[in-house]
Amino acid sequence: MKYQKGQSGNPAGRKPGKINRSTEQLRNVFQQFLETNLETMQADFDKLEPKDRLQFIERVAKMIIPAPITLESLNDAALDALLERLKNDPGQPVGITIYPDDVNL
């Protein structure tokens, strides 16, 4: 392997967590589409049967709200980072989202 895990050939490259430009542009286009068509989408939603409305809300919620995780699903590095954060700031709520492979808390 040419590079070690977590290293790249471009150390001045995109910072961790920085959204790639194409993703940001796509999100902006999608947001503009939603804003432009909000009334039409609301009218379509209102025409749905109650059970279909609930199914729609459930599907959309799954894409927006992250699934809860358990401590058992975290790797050692993520657990260590969480413990370190709790030690450094014990009076504050942990209000952070932790993903199983996330070590950059």
Per-residue pLDDT of 49-104, as tens digits, reads 999 999 999 999 988 887 777 778 888 888 888 888 888 876 666 555 555 554 44
Cα dihedral across residues 75, 79, 80, 81: positive or negative:
positive
Instruction: Tell me which DSSP letter residue 101 carries.
Output: T
Cα–Cα distance for residue pair 97/70, rounded to 1 Å: 12
Cα–Cα distance for residue pair 88/96, rounded to 1 Å: 14
- Render pLDDT for 16-48 as a digit per residue (tens, 0 to 9): 767 778 888 998 999 999 999 999 999 999 999
Cα–Cα distance for residue pair 45/42, rounded to 1 Å: 5
Position 89: which residue type? D
Contact 105, 97 (CB under 8 A): no
- The ranges assigned to domains in the chain are 19-65, 68-105
